[in-house]
Amino acid sequence: MSERIVIPDLGAFSPDDGLVPLQVCSDGFFRVGKDGVETIVRTGDGKVEFIAFADRTQAYVRSALGYPAYYPVHPVSIDRPLQAVLMDLDGTSVRSEGFWIWIIQMTIASLLGNPRFELEDADLPYVSGHSVSEHLQYGIDKYCPGRTVEEARRFYFEHTHRELQAILAGGGRADAFVPTPGLKDFLLALKGRGIKIGLVTSGLYEKAYPEILSAFRTLGLGDPRDFYDAIITAGFPLRQGETGTLGELSPKPHPWLYAETSRVGLGIPFEARGRVVGIEDSGAGICAIRLAGFAPIGLSGGNIIESGTRALCSHYCDSLAEALQLIL
């Protein structure tokens, strides 16, 4: 992009905003200058592509597992008074990314048979903020081609179960789940104003719930199931002899977790989406909020800048206290 461009219902962008121009959509379906397509850009991490026409924009969410999808892009606004705040878990509510990246690293180490294996800094945007299977597929593609996601998932859940049980028993990694600074004051302030709060995560329930439970114990807030108005996770994993739930193919940056939290969990119709905001620290999460039709508030400390999604945020804050000032 050599000059500032306007993408319908998405915004105006300059060359340094992090979006990368394309001539052809990665699936080959859309091309600039053909069939009314005026512009194509992708996020810096390549997860989402935006195809702009004169009066509308479509988003193409790529998939490491072979199931991409197209979504319409809707205009967003912040209409006060707000009815609800939707919050990400990892990085936004609880600082746990290091723990889960460590689990991915141990999983790849197990696949390689090399307990000394370590991920590189360049891997970090691709092993956080997405689904477990996408994280694992990235690691397989780069470090151990020929192994399968199914093999990796077996190791992943072995490591996860062992470490979470140790933490719930009072041991394990001491710095695994730390409440984000200001979380308690932020949540209580929203409650005090009667604003509904939804917790939204691409994490599976068995890994997500111990995180927020541990954080709430630290903060003295009781049972998170009694505190939040809705909690939506990626469900339960499919294992041999067990029944899984949908979650691996529909995580962030797909919009469904945020859409379900607001519409089903909180009962807010799509037409009232301007009275809902989402808070995220990851590029995948910002895209998910945006594609669900809500205004995203980005939180520093994650990979929003690195993923090239800063320009998709309605606001970008350094702390929950700063975000609270925008909301109230």
Q: What is the CATH number of the domain that holds 272?
A: 3.40.50.1000
pLDDT at 2 (0 to 100): 56
Helices of type H across 169-230: 183-192, 205-219, 224-227
104 and 57 share a domain?
Answer: no
144 lies in the same domain as 259: no
The verdict on 91 and 219 lying in the same domain is yes
Same domain for 208 and 195: yes
| Residue 79 maps to a domain | no
3-class state of residue 307 by DSSP: coil
Q: Could you tell me which residue, 306 or 182, shows the higher pLDDT? A: 182
Give the count of domains, the chain: 3
Least confident of 64-78, 139-153, 202-216, 259-273: 202-216
Same domain for 36 and 140? Answer: no
DSSP 201: -
* pLDDT tens figures, 7-47: 999 999 987 888 999 999 999 999 999 999 999 999 999 99
- As a whole number of Å, the CA-based R_g of the chain is 20
- Give the span between the Cα atoms of 200 and 87, in whole angstroms: 6
Q: Count H helices and E strands in the chain, helices first.
A: 9, 15
**Rounded distance, CA 8 to CA 74, Å?**
9
Mean pLDDT, residues 241-253 taken together: 89
Contact in structure between 107 and 150 (CB atoms under 8 Å) = no
Assigned domain for 247 exists: yes
Residues 120 and 160 in one domain: yes
The model scores a pTM over 0.75: yes
Q: Is 262 within the bounds of a domain?
A: yes
Identify whether 248 is part of a domain. Answer: yes
Given a contact cutoff of 8 angstroms between Cβ atoms, the answer to whether 198 and 85 are in contact is: yes
Asked, for residue 174, whether it belongs to a domain, the answer is: no
Residue-range definition of the domain harbouring residue 58: 5-72
Cα separation, 107 vs 113, whole angstroms: 10
CA atoms within 13 A on the CB side of 167: 25
pLDDT in tens, 131-176: 788 899 999 999 999 999 999 999 998 999 899 888 777 777 777 8
What is residue 208's three-state secondary structure?
helix
Model confidence over 58-71: pLDDT tens digits?
Answer: 999 999 889 999 99
The answer on 302 and 247 residing in a single domain is yes
- Written as six digits, the tokens of 325 are 């000032």
Residues 134 and 203 both lie in one domain = no
**310 and 221 in a common domain:** yes
Same-domain check for residues 67 and 203? no
